[in-house]
């Protein structure tokens, strides 16, 4: 069975991006599901000086090891001021110091959602631009606008057109994993 790791790139306890990541993972059948919470990987703010003085935190190695053992990675990005959350950026900075190829060229599915009309598209574009560099797979993306109107825990994505977009992107991810 394939092992799929998913997380919402947010430290919010009630993050809608965590919810979207969990939902997406639930749509990947016949696989081992691993859901990460960035709060379990809270580390000091990255700096070169701190790295020289204290080394790379053990939690960065733990996070990186989980990624390395995955067959696919799902990330749903929260947008803070048009970019990554500080929680995600900090983990990204630390794990990038361990090995040059941060995401191990794994198949990935990048998502974002917000309660606005754009569905956190700006951070999704930033993330895709950075994460897709050098990855041999076509990395699908999906943005869910107006989360509270277009999603319920019971039914998932409510709007049929948006759900079709999601399923098309998910299908590409699953194809890449297999």
Percent of the residues in the chain that have a pLDDT greater than 90, as a whole number: 94
Q: How far is CA 96 from CA 3, 29, 35, in A?
A: 22, 30, 21
| CATH (domain of 137) | 3.40.50.360
- Residue among 86, 100, 101 at smallest CA distance from 44: 86
Number of domains present in the structure of the chain: 1
- The confidence score (pLDDT) of residue 100 equals 84
Give the count of beta carbons closer than 10 Å to the beta carbon of residue 169. Answer: 19
Q: Extract the runs of DSSP E, i.e. beta strands, from 41-140.
A: 72-77, 108-113
Strands 156-157 and 151-152: antiparallel
- The confidence score (pLDDT) of residue 118 equals 87
Q: Mean pLDDT across the chain, nearest whole number?
A: 96
Strands 72-77 and 2-9: parallel
| Element holding 7 (H helix, E strand) | strand 2-9
Residue pLDDT, tens place only, 53-109: 999 999 999 999 999 999 999 999 999 988 899 999 999 999 999 988 999 999 999
Query: In this structure, are residues 20 and 7 in contact, taking their beta carbons and an 8 Å threshold?
Result: no
Domain of residue 8: give its range. Answer: 2-177
- The confidence score (pLDDT) of residue 119 equals 86
Give the count of beta carbons closer than 10 Å to the beta carbon of residue 147. Answer: 18
């Amino acid at each position: 069975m394939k092992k799929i790791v998913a997380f919402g790139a947010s430290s919010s306890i009630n993050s809608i991006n965590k919810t979207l990541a969990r939902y997406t993972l639930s749509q990947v059948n016949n696989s081992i599901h691993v859901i990460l919470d960035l709060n379990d990987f809270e580390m000091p703010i990255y700096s070169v000086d701190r790295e020289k003085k204290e080394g790379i935190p053990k939690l960065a190695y733990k996070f990186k090891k989980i990624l390395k053992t995955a067959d696919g990675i799902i990330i749903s990005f929260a947008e803070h001021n048009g970019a990554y959350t500080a929680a995600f950026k900090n983990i990204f900075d630390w794990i990038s110091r361990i090995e040059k190829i941060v995401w191990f060229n794994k198949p990935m599915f990048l998502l974002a959602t917000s309660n606005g009309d754009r569905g956190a598209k700006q951070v999704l574009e930033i993330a895709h631009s950075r994460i897709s560099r050098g990855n041999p797979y076509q990395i699908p993306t999906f943005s869910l606008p107006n989360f509270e109107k277009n999603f319920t825990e019971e039914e998932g994505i409510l709007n049929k057109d948006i759900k079709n977009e999601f399923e098309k992107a998910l299908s590409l991810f699953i194809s890449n994993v297999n």
